[in-house]
Amino acid sequence: MRRVAIASCIGTTIEFYDFFIYGTAAALVFPTVFFPALGATAGTVASFATFAVAFVARPVGAMLFGHFGDRIGRKKTLVSTLLLMGIATLLIGLLPGAETIGVAAPIILVLLRFVQGFAVGGEWAGATLLTAEYAPPGKRGLYAMFPQLGPAIAFALSSGTFLFTGLALGDTNEAFLNYGWRIPFLFSIVLVAIGLYMRLAIEETPVFRAETEARAAEPEQKRTLPFLDALRHQTKEILLSAGALAIMFAFFYMGTAYLTSYATSTLGFDRPFVLTVGIASSVVFGAAIVLSALYSDRFGRRRVIMVSCGFSVVWALALFPLLDTGSPVAFVVGMMVTLAIFGIAYGPCGALLPEMFHTRYRYTGAGLGYNLAGVLGGAIPPMIAAPLAAAYGGIAIGVMLMVIGLVSFVCTAALVETRDRAL
């Protein structure tokens, strides 16, 4: 159990590290390197549009990798997602800018970002299933917490590598734009090697092995596609889980990607300060994940996630007026509270989604619900936040987040509690 927990945590850390360094680069570097002709606001919008591409790819990855995860196993599929993410991230680090290869640069960037999203789409469900299906009764929230910690660690790593690179270059903007930003992307190949070693050392889950034996005894004509089974039998659960987790994604990617851009371009804070705040916020974020996952074993997944949704509705309206005071302390509080609210919902969902779906299509169903939430909350808000802020000020972003929070609250209230279900 310890080996499975560590392997799942390391795996999601690496996958999300690769995912987050793109978000940090999209905020700090890509408008200049890949969209220099568009100007500041349009360049930022275009940069975050490429960031959003991955969220469109995630449901596609969830369907394809979910199929193989439900058919050939969780472990083999997770090895594939890790390799695919590592290769795409390495190639982004090697990609020349628009000044060198012209319009081909942003086109290739979009394609590689799509591959990143495709890989992450298959990663999360497999990693959480790995721990949830191994976990003893009454401790599923505890063990499913370990893959959930991956994003918190990854955010600290991604902010830390960009901070270290900037300090090593003397925070020379030209050097950072020319080659410094590439170092975190190239470094990811080392993490991928560690993750592969850990994942190859674990065994397939006993729940999946039992399902494989049961399926082998069935007549061939009764074996259907996991994707079709999930849609046929549990469409409601897929849609409700997507709606319930939408605000979670909106807060996370606004906190990790958009606020990094907002702090440097609008509030005028320097890059080292913003990245340091990101590292500190990841600690608060991780603590919120741990506590909420433990409480979900005691009070239920649904109740804890509803608390997060309730906080998000109030905080959404307070966040940007607080940030627009221009105070560094206000920015620290804004970042930490935003990620803490996200962490309260993120801790229980590692157990919630696996518990919602039948073993036969659990990888597919959990992956679809999770990644559709990513489209609703992670793709759209960061992309439209910059033009909203430019036209109506930061309060418009707060209203947008409040609406998403209300939708998530209603969807969560409609869910059935799953804490005591057997897998």
Q: Which residues contact 232 (CB under 8 A, 6 or more apart)?
A: none
C-alpha–C-alpha distance, residues 410 and 405, integer Å: 9
Which has more pLDDT, 88 or 173? 88
Q: What is the pLDDT of residue 308?
A: 95
- Decide if 338 contacts 311 (C-beta within 8 A): no
Mean pLDDT of the chain: 85
The per-residue pLDDT for range 336-376, each reduced to its tens digit, is 999 999 999 999 999 999 999 998 889 999 999 998 898 88
Residue 219 pLDDT more than 80? no
The pTM score is 0.83
- pLDDT at site 220: 59
223: confidence class by pLDDT, cuts 50, 70, 90 = low
The predicted structure's pLDDT at residue 221 = 52
Name the residue type at position 265: S
Kindly indicate the confidence band of residue 155, based on its pLDDT and cuts at 50, 70 and 90. confident
pLDDT confidence of residue 36: 75
pLDDT at residue 245, rounded to an integer? 93
Is the pLDDT score of 66 beyond 80?
A: yes
How many residues are listed for the chain in this entry? 423
Percent of the chain with pLDDT over 90: 30
Q: With 90 as the cut, is the pLDDT of residue 30 above it?
A: no
pLDDT at 183: 85
Q: Taking CA 187 as the corner, what is the angle to CA 40 and CA 16, rounded to the nearest 5 degrees?
A: 70
What pLDDT sits at residue 408? 95
Distance CA 270, CA 285 (A): 23
DSSP assignment of 125-184: HHHHHHHHTTSPTT-HHHHHHHHHHHHHHHHHHHHHHHHHHHHHTTT-HHHIIIIITHHH
pLDDT tops 90 at residue 216: no
CA–CA separation, 138 vs 355, rounded Å? 12
Q: 10 Å Cβ neighbour count for 164?
A: 15
- Alpha-carbon gap, residue 252 to 301, rounded angstroms: 19
* Interval 291-325: pLDDT, tens: 999 999 999 999 999 999 999 999 999 988 998 89
Cβ-contact 399, 312 below 8 angstroms: no
Q: Provide mean pLDDT across the span 392-417.
A: 90
Measured distance CA(131)–CA(419) in Å, rounded: 15
Alpha helix ranges (H) inside 169-225: 173-175, 182-200, 206-216
Span between the terminal Cα atoms of the chain, in Å: 16
The amino acid at residue 301 is R
Residue 177: in which H helix or E strand, if any?
A: none
- Report the candidate in 184, 326, 256, 336 with the shortest Cα–Cα distance to residue 27: 256
Which segment of 36-50, 81-95, 184-198 scores lowest on mean pLDDT? 36-50
Q: Residue 334 has which token pair?
A: 């804004």
